[in-house]
Amino acid sequence: MITIALSKGRIFEETLPLLNAAGITTPEAPEFSRKLILPTNRADVRLIIVRASDVPTYVQYGAADIGVAGKDVLNEHGGIGLYQPLDLNIARCRMMVAVRDDFDYESAVRQGARLRVATKYVQAARDHFAAKGVHVDLIKLYGSMELAPLVGLSDAIVDLVSSGNTLKANHLKAVEEISAISSRLVVNQAALKLKHDAIQPMLDVFALAIRK
Ligand code: PRT
Ligand code: MG
């Protein structure tokens, strides 16, 4: 049995064409099903639906053989026990530093002010500001980072931006790009050896089906 861990929403939707290219189809879409284990047309392949940030953990421990996770999530997880053979080039966005429209970020940085930064991406934020030599107090949040500067929780946030509409709707502006983000295929290192004959052909088809 090959178990593939995916999260609902954009990752599932954008991975589906790749699965289809490998001849794998699923009769039930997770958006319309409460099942956490979804069968596929192949008796030896099943999907499990987990939180986006939990995908690397399921694959690390071998509860799933394969998964799809954003580079943001993989960076926070650390990637232990994971083979990352392919950038699938899906669910693309950018990790950015953002502040309120009326906040002068450049001069705060120039003056060496200690900044309060709210984020779900503590590891990425720590690395980014350390490399810049900017002193920050990091505040860990689990979502809706955009709210933090509006209510005085923080001076800045580190968050993902795709269209920019969420920032705009909340009177925030992006002031720095930390990195470009896309989703990667992750494979359990032991599974790749033990189930090589089933997994390698899938990797080969995915590699050919990736949109440049
Ligand atoms: O929702 P949950 O808390 O379970 O986890 P999640 O938010 O990490 O999962 P999900 O499914 O929303 O995102 C899965 C992956 O998609 C992320 O790990 C990223 O790699 C990738 N991705 C791509 C994004 C975005 N684009 C994105 N825009 N993840 C989140 N967003 C959010 C962003 O955090 C912000 O709140 O969308 C908002 C901004 O969007 P725009 O279009 O208004 O700029
Ligand atoms: Mg989300």
Determine how β-strand 93-100 pairs with β-strand 156-161: antiparallel
Check residue 29 and give its pLDDT: 87
Atom of ligand 1 lying closest to residue 51 CA: 4
Residue with CA nearest ligand 1 atom 18:
70
Q: Domain 2-91+182-211, what fold?
A: D-Maltodextrin-Binding Protein; domain 2 (3.40.190)
Distance CA 199, CA 195 (A): 6
Residue 63: HSE in the Cβ half-sphere, 13 Å Cα cutoff: 12
pLDDT at position 91, please?
A: 98
The verdict on the CB of residue 193 being under 6 Å from ligand 1 is no
12 Cα–ligand 2 center, Å: 13
Q: Whose CA is nearest to atom 16 of ligand 1?
A: 91
What pLDDT is recorded for position 31? 86
Q: What is the pLDDT of residue 75?
A: 98
Residue nearest to ligand 1 atom 13, measured at CA: 52
- The CATH superfamily of 93-179 is Periplasmic binding protein-like II (3.40.190.10)
Average pLDDT per block of 10 residues along the chain, 212 residues long? 97 97 92 93 97 98 98 97 97 98 97 97 98 97 98 98 98 98 98 97 96 79
Residue 211: the pLDDT is 82
Q: Are 2-91+182-211 and 93-179 equal in CATH topology?
A: yes
Domain boundaries, the chain: 2-91+182-211, 93-179
49 contact partners, CB below 8 Å, separation of at least 6: 6, 7, 8, 12, 30, 35, 36, 37, 38
